[in-house]
Amino acid sequence: MRANFPVRLGPAEESLIAQLKAAGATQAAERITVAGLPTRRVESYHYTDLKTLLRSIPPLATAANEASAPALRIPGAYTLMIANGVIQNASTAPAGVIVGKADGGVLTTRDDVMVHVNNALANSALTLTLENTVDPVIQVERRVEGEAAHVADALKIFVADNATTTIIETFSGSDAAHVGNHATYLALGKNAVVTHITVDLSARAATHFATNEYHLADGAKLRTLVIHLGAGLSRTNVFPTMGGADAHADITGLNLVSDGQHADITMETHHAVPHTSSQPLFKSISRGRSKAIVQGKLVVARDAQKTDAKFMHQGLMLSDEAEILSKPELEIYADDVVCGHGSTCGKLDEDSLFYLLSRGIPKAEAETMLVRGFIAELLDPVEDSELNEALQGIVDGWLLGGK
């Protein structure tokens, strides 16, 4: 009979266990004590071995003395801020927007260590209830200020039936080795139309974890966009549930990684009822010695007949040392569905590059033009002009060699 040997815990695990015990989260602490952080043996973390990558956890954050301005300014947006896990005083909300607070975490319990830690350590959640269509973009800035700190915060959003809105979350902070663990729960009412964008603008020394959970009612339409380009180590979990007939989601994401960065977008979409659809599309661009990962699973329940779901990941490597990893999966229990997945990866098209060079365009500019064209499919559907321009500026900054 094989003996069960205890897991050897590293400094990050020891710190997490101590923080969880101090918060009274004994079950979450016991989970890490027994199993440790996920390694390559955990399928959903196969390419992001946290036991190896997460070397330390800083102390839990204290209240920020003064929060800085948002890292991304969007003219006309209604802006809210969570600094070091604490909800800041909000200005007067637009008509139809109710801002509040709730105790504890917001995510559905599932077998994911970051979900368990966030639910255990997030003391309060910012809540937004949208009673009708909201014209201005809603921006939630989530910052970690001061010296290196560990922050768990939460956001819960309800969008009423027939309402339309655009929400962007930006993640940023001081130039320190922070660890951020951010949770967002977004429920869409019947025939609601929502665009939800998250952008990691953290410092390179930081570690960024986020979990976005979505629940769609009948006829709801969702467009998401995850952009990674800031933290040295980042992972965003995307968990949509198509819970109402005729619900549809365009689930998109973009990894922009440079030398030394590791970015992971992991999606698991559940089609729970008949007549739903989703179109996940992810792109990764890697340069220098960096790693970009996209894992995507489509799960179709036994009763979810007439599901139409197609997953695609496209990678673009700008250096010989770049690494892009992709793992598409289908888990289908119904028999009357149209589902598929695909993945491609390569370098800039040499014929297209030659054409631009032959027209007298300098090589660096020609390469930038081709990369912009590669990304355009993700940014063009963002209809708000000010927001679209801000996102284009972020991408251009990365292309020019910054973050």
- Average pLDDT per 10 consecutive residues for the chain, totaling 403 residues: 66 96 94 94 95 96 78 93 89 93 93 95 95 96 95 98 98 96 98 98 97 98 97 98 98 97 98 98 96 97 97 95 95 96 89 87 87 94 96 92 58
pLDDT at 70: 82
Helix, strand or coil, per DSSP, at residue 364? helix
**In whole angstroms, what is the distance from residue 307 CA to residue 298 CA?**
10
pTM for this prediction: 0.95
Residue 213 near residue 242 (C-beta atoms within 8 A) = no
Is residue 392 included in any domain, yes or no? no
DSSP per position, 24-82: T-HHHHHHHHHH-S--TTSGGGTTS-HHHH----PPBPPPPSSPPPPSS--TT-EEEEE
Instruction: Tell me the HSE value of 27 on the side-chain side, using a 13 A CA sphere.
Output: 6
Is residue 301 included in any domain, yes or no? yes
Residue 257 near residue 263 (C-beta atoms within 8 A) = yes
Is residue 341 included in any domain, yes or no? yes
Is residue 86 included in any domain, yes or no? yes
**In whole angstroms, what is the distance from residue 73 CA to residue 387 CA?**
9
**In whole angstroms, what is the distance from residue 135 CA to residue 362 CA?**
41
Residue 196 near residue 212 (C-beta atoms within 8 A) = yes
Residue 310 near residue 330 (C-beta atoms within 8 A) = no
**In whole angstroms, what is the distance from residue 160 CA to residue 133 CA?**
9
Residue with tokens 């975490």: 105
Is residue 83 included in any domain, yes or no? yes
**In whole angstroms, what is the distance from residue 250 CA to residue 141 CA?**
23
E strand map for 272-353 = 277-278, 281-286, 291-300, 308-317, 323-332, 338-346
**In whole angstroms, what is the distance from residue 160 CA to residue 26 CA?**
36
DSSP per position, 335-346: SS-EEEEEEEEE
Is residue 200 included in any domain, yes or no? yes
**Nearest alpha carbon to residue 291 among 235, 239, 369, 371:** 235
Strands 97-103 and 281-286: unpaired
**Nearest alpha carbon to residue 73 among 166, 135, 141, 134:** 141
Domain extent at residue 242 = 71-347
Q: How many helices (H) and strands (E) does the chain have?
A: 7, 20
Is residue 113 included in any domain, yes or no? yes
Q: What phi-psi label fits residue 219: left (phi over 0), alpha (psi between -120 and 50 degrees) or beta?
A: left
Give me the count of residues in the chain. Answer: 403
Is residue 227 included in any domain, yes or no? yes
C-alpha dihedral sign at 227, 229, 230, 232: positive
- Where would I find the H helices in 63-185? 113-121
pLDDT at 4: 53
**Nearest alpha carbon to residue 18 among 64, 52, 63, 56:** 56
pLDDT at 95: 93
Residue 165 near residue 136 (C-beta atoms within 8 A) = no
**In whole angstroms, what is the distance from residue 214 CA to residue 158 CA?**
10
Number of domains in the chain: 1
Residue 115 near residue 144 (C-beta atoms within 8 A) = no
**In whole angstroms, what is the distance from residue 15 CA to residue 146 CA?**
19
Residue 258 near residue 288 (C-beta atoms within 8 A) = yes
**Nearest alpha carbon to residue 265 among 298, 237, 291:** 237
**In whole angstroms, what is the distance from residue 255 CA to residue 374 CA?**
12
